[in-house]
Structure 1
């Protein structure tokens, strides 16, 4: 079996065939013209036939050279493709988010994964509302609270806007009607309802019926079944409102001064991260 020609000589042939000029090929290969000429001569000697016709104004391919060129192009194309695909690491983006934002975030992450399966995302949920990138190995995080330090890498998603919601069939037309229904609290501190009622100028009896839940999901699930009136962020429950599972009995939406933000460490972002963050930012600003 005849020994294969050396790969450097084939690469020199490829560049020279594209230039049809030893001088220009030498410039691209960062070799001397003499070195290029010697490599081509050595390749021709190895193959046993000429690849170029030397002319006064340059070079032209022989019939054998013309046959060789597409094959050599294919070989180097496969090598380049292999370097890109085999050498590429399939990096999973590590994202952290509080449980309260899951109703909004999770469907959109699933949509992102369907659009970009080459950029997998691993989501860690937590009851914490912040992140410390010095101690936590996340590529990005959704945080809830007051506006973070503007010196950090922060993208604002949306402001928190509280509003009551209930099942469509629940008889609720005026603020006074709230006294006839159970108030569903997404947290035990009852701050959300207190904030909204204060802005609405409503004072309900302290002994009124109420039910506390550990998560927003649980409160909204009970509200959709007609159990009572829940309160939550207008954006987080937007999909429920759009589907008709829940309705807003009142137009008042109260900003709390807090919001939801995307944060990432200051160092270089992982591949695909910026595209994901920009896409989520666009989803936050998209009308329902």
Structure 2
């Protein structure tokens, strides 16, 4: 391991990055609020310490050497890691525990984030770190305390508890319905349907559920996540199938979205809370799981 005295100073490295970004000593000096001479001296000392030239000096300017080009991204990454570590430590200074929750993107953006402030107020010394992921969880022994996933309804998932079943609503924008009203099933023939990339079978299930005999026209772009389909609906690109608990508040409390024909269909999927066995009884996991369950019950009760 290098002696600390052999390592370049943070000041020298920040100066190197500034000069490399601008390819100008004078511009780097203005950015750093230093004199041009001070910048030039920092670079010279850094080059002497490294034993390698970082810049080629020419009459018409400077440019990075091959060594400088290789050194720059490594230094940028190292300083960013140092900044992240310091900022993260400062943010955690006022909390007693950290709870890491890994959720599917649509669950996070359309349901959890709009409600999470209630949990933060109730448990001010517990910081929640939200991450996103999707699909089956093959290893839950990592950093995550809680994982939430949408999976086919089943009883064999290890360490999993069903949070709610998924019921899908047909969703359209108010502007689109003003142009092409939907009063009965046959009116759907005039509309375009938004493909769900990860679960293309949903529209086939919808067709069978509503006994639709005519061909369904699909939009030319498929969407991986429900929150993406919702944005496409808002932009009048077609009709989507979206989970009731994610969109009911928007349908009830705004005039932007509608559920034409009051259509709802069980998808045979559910949202599961997955917790590693050894974390199941941790206080932070218990309070968040209880809060999730109560909030979900409230959402579904309000919708019904």
**Offset of 1:198 from its aligned partner?**
1.2
2:294 is the counterpart of 1:282:
yes
Measure, in 2, the Cα distance between the counterparts of 1:146 and 1:189. Answer: 11
- Secondary structure in 2 matching 1:212: coil
Is residue 120 of structure 2 the alignment partner of residue 113 of structure 1? yes
Question: Following the alignment from structure 1 to structure 2, what is the Cα–Cα distance between the partners of residues 168 and 110?
Answer: 29
Q: For 2:96, which of 90, 106, 120 is the aligned residue?
A: 90
Q: Give 1:124 deviation, angstroms.
A: 0.9
1:175 aligns with 2:221: no
Q: In 2, Cα distance between the equivalents of 1:132 and 1:211? A: 32
For residues 282 and 172 of structure 1, the distance between their equivalents in structure 2, rounded to whole angstroms, comes to 35
State the Cα distance separating 1:226 from its structure 2 match. 3.0
Decide whether aligned partners of structure 1 residues 210 and 248 sit closer, same or farther in structure 2, where only a CA change above 3 A counts: farther
State the TM-score, normalizing by the size of structure 1.
0.62
Paired residues of 1:224 and 1:246 also in contact (CA < 8 A): yes
C-alpha separation in 1, matches of 2:119 and 2:183: 39
One of 214, 217, 231 as aligned partner of 2:227: 217
Consecutive aligned runs of 4 or more in structure 1 exceeding 6 Å deviation: none
RMSD: 2.5
Q: 2:172 corresponds to which residue?
A: 166
Displacement of 1:197 in angstroms is: 1.6
Check if 1:241 corresponds to 2:245. no
Q: Indicate conservation of the 8 Å contact 1:147/1:259, yes or no.
A: yes
| 1:1-288 to 2 correspondences below 5 Å | 90-102=96-108, 103-130=110-137, 132-134=139-141, 136-147=142-153, 149=155, 152-169=158-175, 170=177, 171-187=181-197, 189-205=199-215, 209=219, 211-244=221-254, 245-268=256-279, 269-286=281-298, 287-288=301-302
SS in 1 for 2:246: coil
Query: Matches of 2:241 and 2:200 in 1, distance apart?
Result: 10
Q: Report the TM-score, using the length of structure 2 for normalisation.
A: 0.59
Worse overlay, 141-150 or 112-121: 141-150
Indicate conservation of the 8 Å contact 1:183/1:210, yes or no: no
1:183–1:230 Cα contact (<8 Å) kept: yes
Distance in 1 of aligned mates of 2:157 and 2:131: 25
The offset of 1:96, in angstroms, is: 0.8
The 1:107/1:89 distance shift into structure 2, 3 A limit, reads closer
C-alpha contact (below 8 Å) 2:140/2:276 kept by paired residues = yes
Alpha carbons 1:161, 1:234 under 8 Å: kept: yes
Please give the alpha-carbon distance, in whole angstroms, between the structure 1 residues aligned to 2:98 and 2:287. 14
Q: CA deviation at 1:99?
A: 1.4
Residues paired across the two proteins, number: 200
Structure 2: tracts of 5 or more residues without a match: 1-93
